[in-house]
Amino acid sequence: MATTTDKTLEDLLEHGLKDMYYAEKAILKALPKMAKAAQDDDLRDAIEKHRKETEGQIENLEKCFEAMDKKPTGEKCDAMDGILKEGDSLLKEFGGTPAGDAAIIFAAQAVEHYEITRYGSLRTYAEMLGMDDVADLLNEILEEEAAADETLSDLAEDGINDAAMGDDDEGEGEGEE
């Protein structure tokens, strides 16, 4: 086991990049299933848009490795595997029900929030290490993840959560005949 003097912030940055490289590839595999399960057209479109962004994010991670003279490799990310496994369980339990699209958003936002925390930290590490090109690439990914999260929140608030409650009239006149 390494002692505290053996590992540096640059080592942690590299570890984090490997973690996210693995995670993004796992996400890329999961997104088509989520899109297929989505009943709301706008949600399906948002997932498809993010699938294309995820492909670009993988390319940006490869550029980060290149800038650090490292080979792009993934390192198993137990956290993302767990989040995606939970999302798959939610699709099985809620898919095809009025709450199905809300469950997709619930699962997708767990993914986005994990990514936002990781990319925020990695960007900071790159900035501290003077790796401006790496920091810029990570910031680009971070901004896309934050925008995806905001889109999911907007979709939930603009009707998907109401539909999951079973309100055909968007929550107005609940209990009235």
Reported as a single tens digit per residue, the pLDDT across 88-123 is 999 999 998 889 999 999 999 999 999 999 999 999
The pLDDT assigned to 132 comes to 98
> What's 63's domain CATH number?
1.20.1260.10
The pLDDT assigned to 173 comes to 40
38 occurs within a structural domain: yes
17 occurs within a structural domain: yes
The pLDDT assigned to 177 comes to 37
62 occurs within a structural domain: yes
148 occurs within a structural domain: yes
3 occurs within a structural domain: no
The pLDDT assigned to 96 comes to 86
76 occurs within a structural domain: yes
156 occurs within a structural domain: yes
Number of domains in the chain: 1
pLDDT digits (tens, 9 = 90+) for 142-153: 999 999 999 999
The pLDDT assigned to 116 comes to 98
Residues 6 or more apart in contact with residue 138 via CB below 8 angstroms: 60, 64, 119, 122, 123, 126
Q: Which portions of the chain are predicted below pLDDT 50?
A: 169-177
DSSP one-letter code for 59: H
172 occurs within a structural domain: no
Residues 6 or more apart in contact with residue 152 via CB below 8 angstroms: 46, 105, 108, 109, 112
**Domain interval for residue 76:** 9-165
Query: What length does the chain have?
Result: 177
